[in-house]
Amino acid sequence: MSAPSVPAGAPAPVAVVTGASGWLGQNFVRTLAAQGRERVRCLVAAPDEAPPLELVSPTIETVTGDVRDPATVDRLFDGVGPEAAVFHAAAVIHPRRSVRELFDVNVGGTQLVLDRARRGGAARFVHVSSNSPFGVNPGPDDVFTEESPYNPYMGYGRSKQEAEQLVKLAHDRGDLGTVTVRAPWFYGPYQPPRQSRFFSAIRKGRFPLVGDGTQRRSMVYTGNLVQGLLRAEVADKAPGNAYWVADAEPYELREILATVRRALAAEGLGVSGPERVPLPRAAARAAELADALLQGRGRYSQALHVLGELNHTIACDITRAREELGYEPTVGLEEGMQASIRWCLEHGERL
Amino acid sequence: MGTLDTEILVIGSGAGGGITAARLADAGRRVTVVEEGPWVDADAHEPFSLGEMVTKYRHHGASLALGNPNIAYAEGRCVGGSTEVNSGLYHRLPDSLAADWEARYAIDGFTPEELGRYADRVERDLGVSTLPGAPPPSSAMLERGATKLGWRNVEFARVFRYDAAGRGTKQTMSRTMLPRALGAGATIVADCRVQRLLRQGDRVVGVRARRRHPGGAVERLVIRADHVFVCAGAVETPALLQRSGIRRNAGNGLKMHPTVKIAARFPHPIDHGDVPMHRVTEFAPSLTIGGSASRRGHIAMALADTGLPFDDALADWQNISVYYAAIRSDGSGRVLAIPGLASPVVTYKLTDGDLSRLARGIVHLGELLLAAGATELHPSILGGPVVRRADELGAWWDALTRSRANVMTVHLTSTVRMGEDRHRTGADSFGRVWDHRNLRVNDASLLPDAPGVNPQAAIMAIAARNCDQFLAS
């Protein structure tokens, strides 16, 4: 990675990471440890998530518990000392029980971590957000910028919008230097099981291509996103702002599917079935409607939610992250997908 | 059957009606105020007592907005309306909200500067001040807990005047604006409920009402008026419009500040005569924390919310005070007048985000009270749990569900919203009901949204502004 040219300070010796055992968290915590930070204090949700992180480096300390619980977040910050960098990645994307969970964790958890970070005198608070507060682009050629207005996509979008607003408020009233990093769809190592199903469906020619597949999606390789978070920690211009952090350009959906098939083949996995399983847009619209109806009654179906979103262009422009954070994505789709697939194979996943 | 004639009829005598009556009477107009509730001497009942609840509240204080969960609400029903029974807390409409409402609903001239000018006058007329001495223990607990946690808190001003000895008197409408209106020649008719407006084309020519005389005799009354101001509050105002055949944007879009409570037990006595004037604004505007009326009856009701045995705590009621967390809500409700029923049906739908915000509010409130030294917290959640240590607070997240939350409110607004966007408003920028030349609304119904703070200051400033516009037109 070339040295970024934007004005920036030094990274904090101590980092606090929530959501440390998640998809992004696993990648991020390993990078922090490899950088030689003095201490990396991690919040994980369940006891069996702690040992794999503790194994990575003696500088990694774990706290197990619920990000909504004041006593847990107190323990997370206990003895951290001032001037730490706080990275808040804990969130629920696909709730297990009810839509309410999205708000409890994504808003309630953010408020608590913000509060403890402020009281602990944190040097910076980097908040991981999403494209969902902005909904979908009006047309396939549109992209979101930092000026795009909020237009939240269902319960998750509303919860992440409310969280972003709390983060911004904390900066604006002088509590804390906060930065929001908005990441679209990720890919990369340490992926959850749902992503293995994504690969396996594409491999078997069962993943639906909604419409003609020219709708575009921004995606972000986890390694690129990790770089974005680290830049947000140090860049002088960052506090008070939000940035889109994604791969260099958005991809057409048909290109994503074709690239994944090529990457699977390159890793020695034979692909079968048709490259395209066309699904009429009406079917995706029906799924979207069903998802909205269900969420209106407090319930959630991951399959309907994902299918409903596939119909749309969700693309962003990373110009401001490049200019103000010195962010420069180094990994592209094919290389990143190959790395993901390799990780799956090395970890015994069956695709 | 009697008849009355007046130039200006003001229906309702609370924050909106009281200001309206005084300003129009001061300007030399002939004003009649009708009030459904009784005229009760402001000194007749101890503030926040049971006697006050029975005489001055609608439904004796037990009104209900239907939904999942139902939400209990309270509003005044007496000469002076809710200003007679509230805590007197006074907070100007935040500038950012005024600007937001002006843009969103196209409200003419609704600028922070203009509202500020009206607020200045209201404050001069009524008397608005902070406490001259140290706060009572119930309020000091909020300050202490917030200070320990590093949370912003502030002593709110109240509509109070203090004598040389530091004794405060709440400046209710029956003590201020209504006597002023009487002095300027207005008439006030108490125990008189308006049943419907009499409309002729685009004009209202009068109203039909029922007046209850001392001793119980009921007189049917027609009141003829050149101009009618409906100031009956966010529930009764749209209900009256609907009963009179005016339904467009009247009664939908009800907003409120849903509220949850904790009865907190301290290892020392707490005062019970006043309502805490401190507010914790750390989490504003989405949620605010404060103290509630905490007479023995309120404490018993709050303790009973868990449905768990509370004899031991009630025996110690001198050491207990009730606190609340109130949220700004994404949900909304409606008011629907039903033929044959005196009271409209009120519904309110809390969103999942609202429920979550209430849970967040009660957890933060619990943190604050423990930091202030409370030893036992009884939440308004059926089944509790009662909490004694900080590491038990997290359990409230999952305990506060739609079926177990006890939610209440004292602030209802937004049922006849104002502004030039006719699709979303029931009245123009100055409260004139659409398509009617001489019918105006001038109360909490006009606020396009719940303001996140006690609404009476906003209601009064807006009412005063609308009166000036009426007088100039």
Q: What is the CATH number of the domain that holds B345?
A: 3.30.410
Same domain, B180 and B270: no
Please provide the average confidence, as pLDDT, over all residues in chain B. Answer: 95
- What pLDDT does residue B350 have? 97
How distant is the Cα of B289 from the closest Cα of chain A, in angstroms? 15
Q: List, as ranges, residues 117-146 from A with C-beta within 8 Å of B.
A: 118-119
What is the pLDDT, as a whole number, of residue A149? 96
Domain identity same for B310 and B241: no
**What is the model's pLDDT at position A273?**
84
Contacts of A119 in chain B (CB under 8 A): 149-150
Contacts of A108 in chain B (CB under 8 A): 356, 359-360, 363, 397
pLDDT attached to residue A1 = 47
CB pairs under 8 A between A and B: 58
* pLDDT(A311) > 90: no
DSSP three-state, residue A187: strand
Confirm whether B160 is domain-assigned: yes
* Residue of chain B whose alpha carbon sits nearest to that of A299: B352
Whether residue B63 is contained in a domain is answered as no
pLDDT of residue B247: 95
A61 pLDDT above the threshold of 60 = yes
Pick the catalytic residue from B60, B411, B423, B436.
B411
Interface probe for B, chosen from A63, A75, A103, A168 (most Cβ of B below 10 Å), is A103
pLDDT, position B166? 84
Contact B303, B314 (CB under 8 A): yes
The verdict on B359 and B450 lying in the same domain is no
Residue B69 lies in a domain: no
**Between A66, A98, A119, which is nearest B394 by CB?**
A66
Question: Final residue of a domain: which of B376, B409, B442?
Answer: B409
Q: Are residues B349 and B263 in the same domain?
A: yes
Averaged over A153-163, what is the pLDDT? 95
> Which pTM value belongs to this model?
0.94
Task: Tell me how close the Cα of A6 comes to any Cα of chain B, in angstroms.
Answer: 34
Q: Which of B409, B437, B460 is the last residue of a domain?
A: B409
Say if B236 falls within a structural domain.
yes
Contact A108 B363 (CB under 8 A): yes
Distance between A166 CA and the closest CA of chain B, angstroms: 9
Domain identity same for B332 and B442? no
Contact residues, chain B, for A100 at CB < 8 Å: 352, 355-356
Mark whether B91 is an active-site residue.
no
Same domain, B227 and B266: no
Contact between chains at B355 and A74 (C-beta distance less than 8 A)? no
Query: A172 — contact with chain B (CB < 8 Å)?
Result: no
Residues B131-182 pLDDT 10s? 988 999 999 999 999 999 999 999 999 999 999 888 889 999 999 999 999 9
Q: Percent of chain A beyond pLDDT 90?
A: 76
pLDDT at residue number A139: 86
Nearest-Cα distance to chain B for A49, in Å, is 21
- Asked if the C-beta of A103 comes within 8 angstroms of chain B's C-beta atoms, the answer is yes
Buried b (16+ CB within 10 A) or exposed e, B377-407: bbbbbbebbbbeeeebbbbbbebbbeebbbb
| Domain match, B283 and B313 both | yes
**Are B269 and B347 part of one and the same domain?**
yes
Confidence of residue A280 (pLDDT cuts 50, 70, 90): confident
Q: Which of B409, B432, B458 marks a domain boundary? A: B409
CA distance B401 to chain A (A): 10
Q: Which of A247-256, B42-51, B98-107 has the lowest mean pLDDT?
A: B42-51
The nearest alpha carbon in chain B to A120 belongs to: B150
The overall average pLDDT reported for chain A is 94
Closest-CA residue of chain B to A161: B353
Query: Is residue A258 pLDDT above 50, yes or no?
Result: yes
Residue range B295-325, pLDDT digits in tens: 898 999 999 999 999 999 999 999 999 999 9
- pLDDT score recorded for residue A304: 84
* Domains in chain A: ranges and CATH: 14-191+218-248+315-331 (3.40.50.720)
Q: What are the two backbone dihedrals, phi and then psi, of residue B109, each rounded to the nearest 5 degrees?
A: 60, 25
Which tokens sit at B145? 């807990």
Residue A15 banded pLDDT, cuts 50, 70, 90? very high
- pLDDT, tens digit (0-9, with 9 covering 90-100), for B359-369: 999 999 999 99
> Which of B352, B363, B394 has its CB closest to that of A99?
B352
Residue B58: inside a domain? no
Q: What is the CATH number of the domain that holds B179?
A: 3.50.50.60
Q: Work out the pLDDT band at A4, boundaries 50, 70, 90.
A: low
Look at residue B70 and tell me if it is in a domain: no
Q: Quote the minimal CA–CA distance from B412 to chain A in Å.
A: 24
Tell me how far apart the alpha carbons of residues B245 and B432 are, in angstroms, rounded to a whole number.
Answer: 16
Q: Which of A100, A159, A166 sits opposite B355 (nearest CB)?
A: A100
Confidence of residue A3 (pLDDT cuts 50, 70, 90): low
Pair B299, B242 in one domain? no
Band (pLDDT 50/70/90 cuts) for residue B48 is confident
Q: Which pLDDT score is estimated for A168?
A: 98
Between chains, do B397 and A69 touch, taking CB under 8 Å as contact? yes
Q: Which of B352, B364, B391 sits opposite A100 (nearest CB)?
A: B352
Task: Give domain status of residue B381, yes or no.
Answer: yes
**Does the pLDDT at position B53 exceed 80?**
no
Which of B149, B150, B356 is facing A104, going by the closest CB pair? B356
pLDDT of residue B385: 97
Q: Do B357 and A107 touch (CB under 8 A)?
A: yes
Per-residue confidence band for B52, with pLDDT thresholds at 50, 70 and 90: confident
The answer to whether residue B213 is domain-embedded is: yes
The answer to whether residues B344 and B444 belong to one domain is no
CA dist B166 and A131 (Å) reads 56
For B65-122, the pLDDT digits (tens) are: 999 999 999 999 999 999 998 889 999 999 999 999 999 999 999 999 999 999 999 9
Closest partner residue to B359 among A70, A98, A108, by Cβ? Answer: A108
pLDDT surpassing 60 at residue B229: yes
B444 and B366 belong to one structural domain? no
Same domain, residue pair B368 and B391: yes
Give the integer Cα–Cα distance in Å for A307 and A314: 14
How much is the average pLDDT of B459-472? Answer: 97
Work out the pLDDT band at A289, boundaries 50, 70, 90.
confident
Q: Give the domain range for residue B369.
A: 137-165+258-409
Least confident of A176-190, B160-174, B202-216: B160-174
Count of structural domains, chain B: 2
Q: Report CB contact under 8 Å: A100, B286.
A: no
